[in-house]
Structures are given as C-alpha cells and as structure tokens.
C-alpha cells in the first residue's frame, strides 16, 4: 500500500463489500483495519475516524490482536496529530503490548506504528520511549476506551 493509495482503497472497499455479502466478519474487519489505517497516512482524518471506530470495535470483540494493534497505532497517529501526545504514547505502548513481544508486524503495520511514533515525539519535542512504556501497562479494554475517546473528538488537522 506504499504507492497507490487510491487503487488500494478501491480494492479494500471491494473486499469489505464482498466479505460482508458472504458474512465473513474476519475478512471484513481485517480489510477495514487496513483501509482505516491508510487514511491517516494520507492526512484524511475525517475519513479515517468512522472506519477506525468500526475496525476497533470488530477487532476487540473478535479478539483479533493484530488488527487491534494496527487500529490502536492508527488512532495514536490521530491523537498525536491532534496534539494529544500522552494518549498517543499510551496507545502506541498498548498496541505493542496487544501485539505481543514475539510478533513480527508486516511492513504496513510497521509504517503506521512508525508514523504514530514520530508524530508523538514531535508533540513532546523529544523521544517518548518512557511515556510509551507506561502505555504497555494498559489492559486492552482500557486502551480501547482511550481510543474511543480520541475518535469522539473532531478530526485533527494535518501538521503544517
């Protein structure tokens, strides 16, 4: 998805529609999480929020740790872009905790996490490893509650 976001978005929307037609919640949530996470990378924050809400809820309810971790990272990016570095750092830490210490995220998941980390460091004006470590202590339910609060806010503007 690094190159042509429009083409990828079209394919993901088609996959989500098809998965819903055959009642395959797993595939729908998986594709929706990728679609939702790609939008903040394009500074499309308004479009990201509803998709992230649905992906977050579906991942949490179904126990899809990798999708939950990706959703938390994307929402951390939204929080950081909105100037809320503390919540962003907590969500980054929670995302790593949910994913697990032995997980090997895919390149797209690493990119979303990296963008969230950079945006969070910019809010604080320093490396935020210490703040992110505190987020690792959040239970998944607590992380989801914090993420829902971020999604309830008006969409962030892209930094100038």
Q: Cβ neighbours of residue 53 under 8 Å, at least 6 residues apart?
A: 148, 151
- pLDDT given for residue 98 in this prediction: 85
Confidence band, pLDDT 50/70/90 cuts, at residue 159: very low
8 A C-beta contact, residue 73 and residue 109: yes
Q: Kindly report the number of other CB atoms within 10 A of residue 5's CB atom.
A: 16
**Is the pLDDT confidence value at 113 over 70?**
yes
Task: Tell me the three state secondary structure of residue 150.
Answer: helix
Task: Report the pLDDT averaged over residues 122-128.
Answer: 85
Q: Which residue has the tokens 């939008």?
A: 39
Buried b / exposed e along 104-126 (16+ C-beta atoms within 10 A): ebeebbebbbebbbebbbebeee
CA distance 63 to 79: 23
Both tokens assigned to 45: 């924050």
Residue 3 pLDDT greater than 60, yes or no: no
Q: Say yes or no to pLDDT of 102 above 80.
A: no
53-74 residue pLDDT tens: 888 888 888 888 888 888 999 8
| pLDDT at site 22 | 92
C-beta atoms surrounding 143 within 10 Å: 27
């Amino acid at each position: 998805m690094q190159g042509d976001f429009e083409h990828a978005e079209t394919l993901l929307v088609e996959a989500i529609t098809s998965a819903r037609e055959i009642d395959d919640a797993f595939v729908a949530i998986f594709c929706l999480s990728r679609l939702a996470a790609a939008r903040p990378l394009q500074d499309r924050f308004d479009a990201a929020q509803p998709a992230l809400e649905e992906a977050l809820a579906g991942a949490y309810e179904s126990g899809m740790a990798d999708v939950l971790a990706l959703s938390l990272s994307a929402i951390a990016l939204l929080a950081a872009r909105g100037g809320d570095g503390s919540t962003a750092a907590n969500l980054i830490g929670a995302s790593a905790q949910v994913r697990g210490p032995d997980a090997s995220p895919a390149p797209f998941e690493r990119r979303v996490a990296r963008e969230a980390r950079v945006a969070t460091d910019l809010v604080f004006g320093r490396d935020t490893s210490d703040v992110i470590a505190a987020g690792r202590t959040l239970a998944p339910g607590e992380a989801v509650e914090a993420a829902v609060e971020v999604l309830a806010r008006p969409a962030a503007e892209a930094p100038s």
